Amino acid sequence: MPHTTVLEPLKADQWFVDNPDVREFVAIAKEIISSTEHNRTETLNILEPHFAALLKKENWLPKPFTQPNPDSGLGQGIGQWLLYRSQERVLTIFSLVIPPDAITPVHDHLSWGLVGLYQGKQEETVYCRVDNGELEGRAQLETVGTYQVKTGDIYHLLPPDNDIHSVKAITLFAPSISIHVMGNDTGSIWRHHYHPEQKSVQSFRSRYSNVLMKQERENHAKFH
Ligand SMILES: [Fe+2]
């Protein structure tokens, strides 16, 4: 069971949503995260108001990036749409669209991140791992807390703290949509799907709803 991922750099930055608002935010984010003056906690605090400003803007997120995806890598129709990915895969932005009442698996991210609610309401349950990870396939989690997140709210991911959670949409009719600003290529790497009640863990790759993985691209080229 693979637990780490080495991904090759891309040929160039990839813009799946390309407009002045996203370009401006990416330029600021790149400058902030490349600064060596601050530790990661400070970096996220400095980045947060710029992210909040982007979330408040209107008409920057095209409709296809606000839709559920029946063929989801996260299950339950959850859409994970890649908006932007840097060449070195050290900055990605994606939307996570959770249909009403759907819930993500309990998962980790293995990277710093900022998550902001663009639409709707969510209930986030945060866990911490309390075993030493020595037993393959086994993991013991404890619940840290359950939090309500509403439109405009932003929370921080900063492993090892706050990195394991599940997220449930608690809107009745429209999906909840969160925007993730991450320091890795979250959808492409192998990370962990936990089953707290069974005390087990498995590797998984969530993928992005709008991007084929390298192997899928090669298969596609072979058969078409
Ligand atoms: Fe998450």
Indicate the average pLDDT of the chain.
93
Q: Ligand 1 mean position to 131 CA, how many Å?
A: 21
Sheet holding 121-129, edge to edge: 141-150, 121-129, 164-169, 106-107, 191-195, 200-204
How confident is the model at residue 151, as a pLDDT? 96
As a whole-number percent, the residues of the chain with pLDDT over 70 amount to 93
Q: Ligand 1 mean position to 92 CA, how many Å?
A: 14
Domain coordinates of the chain in residue numbers? 14-223
Q: Domain 14-223 is classified in which CATH homologous superfamily?
A: Jelly Rolls (2.60.120.10)
Q: Ligand 1 mean position to 157 CA, how many Å?
A: 9
| pLDDT one-digit tens code per residue, 114-161 | 999 999 999 999 999 999 989 999 999 999 999 999 999 999 999 988
How confident is the model at residue 42, as a pLDDT? 94
| pLDDT one-digit tens code per residue, 169-215 | 998 899 999 999 999 999 999 999 999 999 999 999 999 999 987 66
Q: Which residues contact 102 (CB under 8 A, 6 or more apart)?
A: 76, 77, 78, 168, 169
pTM, full prediction = 0.93
Residue 222 clears pLDDT 80, i.e. is over it:
no
